[in-house]
């Protein structure tokens, strides 16, 4: 007799999809891989590179040695080998690989995301919710078709719907029967429940999992870590005008290198201008929640010497904790990188706090109690697995399980 179950999942200090999946897929803490978000500063604090399994250079549970499928899994790229891959929308123009699958439904209609940002639907909530539900339903149809059609060695399905709906509707939408969209949500949940059971029942063992790695809590404020680090004397921000100019110059040189031509001078007219740092900065946060020392061994314009790393980490942690506590932010979780390797790709500190959202845009206070999103990510999610007694999973135990299933 086999049975399937939903287990709790704990992400610790990590609350972004990429960071959590970096640990699940690699079996290494983020200190080892450097994966803490959508992108990371590789050689310059002012130039972020979008992360994937190959840019972080880790070995993942998805290799060409095993027949596997990855649906909506961050960091994993398409492969010419034995993988069936359905995009999570982060870095490839392809939606499905191999392309032959696109000849038929349900893969033909697969879309990683119904829109590039939930902000697009801010004033058209109903339309946005329906689009999200439809995209996720299609994803589950693909997952059912794949999971029940082969004897997979590893199969992973990531659900995005709860994250998207929390962003659009706030944290209590699942319980609120008065919402116009409630019947649509209810009908989707019934469909999803049956679909998830089918997918898990088809697995030969705990080789197929369905995951929603984090959840949402009410957001009470948002913070710009760079402004806080500026107050403490660690960060020197470039003035917005100069930052915009630097962004445009970088965009032009990227275009020149790639040989493309573009008439528009403004690279990203709809994207907020993010913080740009002066050379004299000691510690800055180009990635939400992550603080990097401006290390000589790592960054082109680095100024922090190797022997200073250890002491500076402690000092920044202590000063920042005091400042945040004095601003009424409690329940902080702050992790210091236990290693002092000067060329490590990882941040030196990683921070999260209940109800606190991070941003690194110009033009708002360091801690904003008035303008903030409805919700922010929390580090608890769920994982659906077959035949497993363990009740609470974390990133590394889930990796052990997936790797163990390959032996």
Q: How far is the CB of 336 from Zn ion (least distance, A)?
A: 26
Q: Which residue has the tokens 């970088």?
A: 250
Q: Nearest distance from residue 166's CB to Zn ion, in Å? A: 7
* Residues 6 or more apart in contact with residue 4 via CB below 8 angstroms: 196, 197, 200, 201, 384, 385, 386, 387
Helices 161-169 and 182-202 sit at what angle, rounded to 10 degrees?
Answer: 160
- Span from 19-27, 155-163, 195-203, 291-299 in contact with Zn ion (CB under 5 A): 155-163
- Total of residues contacting Zn ion (CB under 5 A): 1
- Segment lying near Zn ion (by CB under 5 A), choices 134-142, 161-169, 248-256, 348-356: 161-169
Q: How far is the CB of 406 from Zn ion (least distance, A)?
A: 30
d(CA 169, CA 179): 10
Q: How far apart are CA 398 and CA 81, in angstroms?
A: 24
The dihedrals phi and psi of 363, each to the nearest 5 degrees, come to 85, 25
Q: Which is nearer to Zn ion, 87 or 375 (CB)?
A: 375
Q: How far is the CB of 298 from Zn ion (least distance, A)?
A: 29
Nearer to Zn ion, 163 or 348 (CB): 163
Q: Which of 163, 335, 348, 357 binds Zn ion (CB under 5 A)?
A: 163
CA dihedral over 261, 264, 267, 270, signed as positive or negative:
negative
Strand 221-223 to strand 356-358: parallel, antiparallel, or no bridges (unpaired)?
Answer: parallel
Q: Which is nearer to Zn ion, 12 or 155 (CB)?
A: 12
Return the residue nearest Zn ion (CB atom): 163
Taking each helix axis from N to C end, the angle separating 395-406 and 17-26, rounded to the nearest 10 degrees, works out to: 40
CA–CA separation, 229 and 215 (whole Å): 28
Shortest spacing between CB 377 and Zn ion, in angstroms: 6
- CA–CA distance, 399 with 328 (Å, rounded to integer): 37
Interface with Zn ion by CB under 5 A: which range of 22-30, 159-167, 272-280, 294-302? 159-167
Binding range to Zn ion, per CB under 5 A, among 27-35, 160-168, 306-314, 327-335: 160-168
Q: Token pair of 305, please?
A: 């010497």
- Compare residues 30 and 107 and give the one whose CB is closer to Zn ion: 30
Give the range of 84-92, 157-165, 320-328, 358-366 binding Zn ion by CB under 5 A: 157-165
Piece in contact with Zn ion (CB under 5 A), picked from 40-48, 158-166, 196-204, 362-370: 158-166
Q: Which is nearer to Zn ion, 35 or 283 (CB)?
A: 35
- Residue closer to Zn ion by CB (options 32, 354) is 354
Give the CA angle between residues 56, 59, 61 to the nearest 5°.
125
- Chain CA centroid to CA 394, Å: 16
DSSP 27: S
Residue 128: CB atoms within 10 A of its CB come to 23
On the question of a cis peptide bond just before residue 98, with omega within 30 degrees of 0, the verdict is yes
Task: State the nearest-atom distance from the C-beta of 245 to Zn ion, in Å.
Answer: 31
Q: By CB under 5 A, is residue 357 in contact with Zn ion?
A: no
Query: What are the structure tokens assigned to 380, written together?
Result: 């608890």
- CA dihedral in degrees (353, 354, 356, 358; nearest 10)? 50
Beta carbon of residue 167, minimum distance to Zn ion (angstroms, whole number): 6
Give dist(CA 354, CA 223) in Å, integer.
12
Q: How far is the CB of 385 from Zn ion (least distance, A)?
A: 23
Residue whose CB is less far from Zn ion, 340 or 354: 354
Place of tokens 């913070």: 223
Nearer to Zn ion, 166 or 362 (CB): 166
- Provide, for the chain, the percentages of residues in helix, strand and coil under a 3-state DSSP scheme, each rounded to the nearest 5: 35, 20, 45
If the CB atoms of residues 235 and 376 are measured against Zn ion, the closer one turns out to be: 376
**Which span sits near Zn ion by CB under 5 A: 54-62, 84-92, 156-164, 332-340?**
156-164
CB of 29 to Zn ion, least distance (A): 22
Shortest Cβ 290–Zn ion spacing (Å) = 16
44-83 positions binding Zn ion, by CB under 5 A? none
Closer to Zn ion by Cβ: residue 67 or 361: 361
> Which residues are at the interface with Zn ion (CB under 5 A)?
163
């Amino acid at each position: 007799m086999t049975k399937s179950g939903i287990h709790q999942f704990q992400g610790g200090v990590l609350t972004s999809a990429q960071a959590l999946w970096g640990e699940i897929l690699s079996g290494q803490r983020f200190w080892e891989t450097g994966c803490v978000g959508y992108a990371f500063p590789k050689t310059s604090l002012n130039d972020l590179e979008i992360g994937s399994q190959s840019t972080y250079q880790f070995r993942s549970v998805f290799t060409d040695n095993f027949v596997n499928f990855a649906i909506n899994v961050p960091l994993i790229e398409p492969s010419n080998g034995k993988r069936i891959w359905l995009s999570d929308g982060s870095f490839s123009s392809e939606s499905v690989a191999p392309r032959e699958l696109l000849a038929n439904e349900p893969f033909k209609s697969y879309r990683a995301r119904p829109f590039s940002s939930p902000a697009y639907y801010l004033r058209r909530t109903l339309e946005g919710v329906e689009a999200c539900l439809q995209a996720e339903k299609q994803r589950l149809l693909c997952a059912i078709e794949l999971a029940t059609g082969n004897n997979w060695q590893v199969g992973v399905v990531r659900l995005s719907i709860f994250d998207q709906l929390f962003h659009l509707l706030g944290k209590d939408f699942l319980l609120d029967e008065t919402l116009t969209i409630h019947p649509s949500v209810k009908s989707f949940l019934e469909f999803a429940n049956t679909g998830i059971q089918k997918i898990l029942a088809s697995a030969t063992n705990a080789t197929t999992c369905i995951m929603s790695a984090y959840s949402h809590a009410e957001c009470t404020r948002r913070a710009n870590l760079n402004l806080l680090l500026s107050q403490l004397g660690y960060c020197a921000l470039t003035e917005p005008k100069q930052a915009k100019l630097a962004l445009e110059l970088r965009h032009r040189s990227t275009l020149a290198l790639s040989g493309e031509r573009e008439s528009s001078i403004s690279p990203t007219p709809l994207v907020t201008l993010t913080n740009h740092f002066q050379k004299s900065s000691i510690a800055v946060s180009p990635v939400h929640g992550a603080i990097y020392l401006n290390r000589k061994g790592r960054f082109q314009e680095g100024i922090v010497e190797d022997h200073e790393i250890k002491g500076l980490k402690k000092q920044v942690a202590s000063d920042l904790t005091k400042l945040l506590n004095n601003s009424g932010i409690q329940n902080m979780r702050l992790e210091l990188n236990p290693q002092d390797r000067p060329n490590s790709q990882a941040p030196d500190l990683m921070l999260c706090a209940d109800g606190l959202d991070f941003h690194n845009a110009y033009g708002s206070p360091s801690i904003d109690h008035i303008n903030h999103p409805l919700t922010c990510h929390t580090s608890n999610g769920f994982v659906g697995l077959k035949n497993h007694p363990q009740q609470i999973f974390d990133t590394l135990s889930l990796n052990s399980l997936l790797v163990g299933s390959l032996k």
